[in-house]
Amino acid sequence: MESLKNRKERFEYTGSLSEYQILSKNTTMKYEVDSYSPYQNYLYKRALYGLDSINEKELVTMCSKKKQRINKVYFKGQMVINVYKQKLTNNFTTALFNKLFPKAPVTALFNSNQDTDPNFKNTLTFKDLNISKDDIVNLFIQEGILPKNFAELTTDPNQLPKLKNAI
């Protein structure tokens, strides 16, 4: 049996990625499955990213009042996320100092002061703080950024029915 390096396949990759060629036929990729409907994702992205989540075509036809409402929700969402990230950071720091330096004065200071500052911008990423999409959705529902019935929404309730083309 010839070695894998000397083996010639019908299609062979060359160049900088040639060492990553996989000769096995049993390779599969597992992707994270999103449990939200397209409308739920639309609402989530609109709250999380604001006007940046909306395509140009829709943005051009949108009235200025709706743009202001989207921006207002977006800024409120960013403030809520910032405070949530600060709370997680405070909890992590307090737990770390309690474990490593239980009797140090700085540990007592961390334990006594768990305040958050809305003017301080926490720049840690969701991945760094282990924050999932579900965490953000639940936070937005609690704060009223997303509707209470978010889990039941599958389609836009304000969407007009599509008319059949009359020929």
The closest alpha carbon to 146, from 162, 135, 132, belongs to 135
Q: Looking at 121-125, 127-131, 158-162, which range is the least confident one?
A: 158-162
What are the structural domain ranges in the chain?
Answer: 34-152
| Of residues 2 and 38, more confidently modeled | 38
Residue 143 has pLDDT above 90, yes or no: yes
Task: Kindly report, residue by residue over 76-108, the tens digit of the pLDDT.
Answer: 999 999 999 999 998 998 998 889 888 888 888
Using a pLDDT cut of 90, give the percent of the chain over it.
Answer: 53
